[in-house]
């Protein structure tokens, strides 16, 4: 009877150790999940900033090309008028 009691205690101790390990692992995974979620949020914010910057750059590029085209047309018109005169 004492042997059975000792075996049961050993099994309970083993189960208890495994449960403690699983709780620690779960807490570690939760902490890692929070860190990863925070990193994802930061990366999404960075991506949004880059998208906004790219849009602004694209708009400036379009404006610059439009101004260049306008100046080239003026030069072309001027050149045609000088040649005719």
Question: What is the rounded CA–CA span in Å between residue 2 and residue 7?
Answer: 9
Predicted model pTM = 0.63
Q: What is the pLDDT of residue 9?
A: 95
pLDDT tens-digit readout, 21-57: 999 999 999 999 999 999 999 999 999 999 999 999 9
Buried/exposed 39-66: b ≥16 CB within 10 Å, e otherwise = eeeeeeeeeeeeeeeeeeeeeeeeeeee
Question: What is the rounded CA–CA span in Å between residue 29 and residue 62?
Answer: 49
pLDDT of 84 over the 80 cut: no
Question: What is the rounded CA–CA span in Å between residue 65 and residue 78?
Answer: 20
């Amino acid at each position: 009877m004492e042997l059975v009691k000792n075996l049961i205690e050993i099994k309970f101790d083993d189960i208890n150790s495994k449960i403690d390990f699983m709780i620690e692992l779960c807490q570690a995974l939760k902490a890692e999940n929070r860190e990863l979620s925070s990193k994802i949020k930061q990366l999404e914010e960075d991506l949004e900033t880059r998208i906004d910057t790219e849009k602004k750059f694209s708009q400036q590029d379009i404006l610059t090309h439009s101004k260049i085209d306008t100046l080239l047309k003026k030069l072309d018109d001027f050149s045609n008028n000088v040649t005719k005169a």
